[in-house]
Amino acid sequence: MRTELPYIIIFSTMSIDGRIASTSGFSKLSCPYDKRRQMLLRCTSDAIVVGGNTVRHDNPLLTVRDVKCHKNPIRVVISHSLKFSKDANIFRQPPKTIIYTDNSSKIEIPQNVEIVTLKNTSICLIMEDLYKRGIRKVLIEGGGKTLYRAIEERCFDELRVTVSPKLFGNGVSLLDGKGFQDDEIQELALYDSKLCECKNEIYLTYKKR
Ligand SMILES: NC(=O)c1ccc[n+]([C@@H]2O[C@H](COP(=O)([O-])OP(=O)(O)OC[C@H]3O[C@@H](n4cnc5c(N)ncnc54)[C@H](OP(=O)(O)O)[C@@H]3O)[C@@H](O)[C@H]2O)c1
C-alpha cells in the first residue's frame, strides 16, 4: 500500500555559486520580493521544516510576517542532539513546534513544544507522521544538511530556488551531504522560471520527475 505523504515544497535562496550561507554564517540573501514569496508560501503551508543548525545559527521565528495571513503553519525541527537554547525564538511564542528526534534523552521542553522520538528520523518517515497529524502541505526551508536528506530520499515534490546575485566562494551548500554516485544523480523538470520584480534575482521552480 502506498504511504500517504503531504505535498512537499523545498524553498531556498542561494548565491550564484550555490551557497545558502557564507563561511561566517551570513545568510541574508533575499530581496524584499523574495521574502514576500517566502511568506506567501509559508501562509499556504501547514508546516515549516528546518534542521537543528538553522535554529542554532539563525534563531528564526518561522512565522508569517508582512503579508495578510490568517494562520501560522506549525514549526517542525529535526535534531539528533536536541541541543537548543531555551530562549530560542521558536520556543518563545506560538505556533506549536514539533521536534523530531532519534535521541531518547529526556530534555526540559518549553510549553507549546512536542518532542516526537522515532527510531529512524528519515525525512519520509517524518513526513508520514506529519500526514497522520493532518498536515497536507509542507515547506522545507533548510539548511543544506536537511535538504540533502530530503533530496537523497526523493522526499519532495517541488524545489523552488531563488538565485541571489552574490558569490560566497565557500560556505553551506544548498545540499550538504556526501554527494550522489553517478547513478543516483537526480534530474528535475524545470516547471517555471521568473525574473524577480527586483530585476536582479531569478526564481526557479523544479518538479521531481
Ligand atoms: N538561504 C536560505 O534560504 C537558508 C535557509 C535555511 C537555512 N540556511 C542556512 O543554513 C545553515 C544551516 O545549514 P546546515 O546544513 O548546517 O544545517 P541544517 O540542515 O539546518 O541542520 C542540520 C542538523 O539538523 C538535524 N538533522 C537534519 N536531518 C536530520 C535527520 N534526518 N535526523 C536527525 N537529525 C537531523 C541535525 O541536528 P542536530 O545537530 O541538532 O543533531 C543536523 O546536524 C545556516 O547557516 C542557515 O543560515 C539558509
pLDDT tens-digit series, residues 141-196 = 999 999 999 999 999 999 999 999 999 999 999 999 999 999 999 999 999 999 99
Residue nearest (by alpha carbon) to ligand 1 atom 24: 51
> Which of the four pLDDT bands, split at 50, 70 and 90, describes residue 2?
low
pLDDT, tens digit (0-9, with 9 covering 90-100), for 113-126: 999 999 999 999 99
Measured in Å, residue 209 CA sits from the centre of ligand 1 at: 25
Q: What is the sign of the dihedral through the CA atoms of 82, 44, 12 and 90?
A: negative
Q: What is the four-CA torsion angle of 151, 157, 162, 167, rounded to 10 degrees?
A: 10
How far does the centroid of ligand 1 lie from the alpha carbon of residue 50, in Å?
Answer: 6
User: ∠ CA(14), CA(165), CA(189), 5° rounding?
Assistant: 50
Locus of grid cell 501547514 = 46
Ligand 1 pocket, mutate which of 19, 22, 78 (most atoms under 8 A from CB) = 78
Expressed in angstroms and rounded, the spacing between residue 6 Cα and the centre of ligand 1 is: 21
Q: Where are the domains of the chain?
A: 7-207
Residue 6 Cβ inside 6 Å of ligand 1? The answer reads: no
Round to whole Å and give the CA distance between 151 and 147.
6
HSE at residue 164, side-chain half, CA atoms within 13 A, is 21
For residue 36, give the H/E element and its range.
helix 32-43
CA of 81 from ligand 1 middle (Å) equals: 12
Choosing among 3.40.50.2000, 3.40.50.1360, 3.40.430.10, 3.20.20.70, the CATH entry for 7-207 is 3.40.430.10
Neighbours of 18 (CB within 10 A): 15
Strand partners, 48: 75, 139
Residue 21: partners with Cβ closer than 8 Å, 6 or more residues away: 27, 57, 143, 144, 168, 171, 172
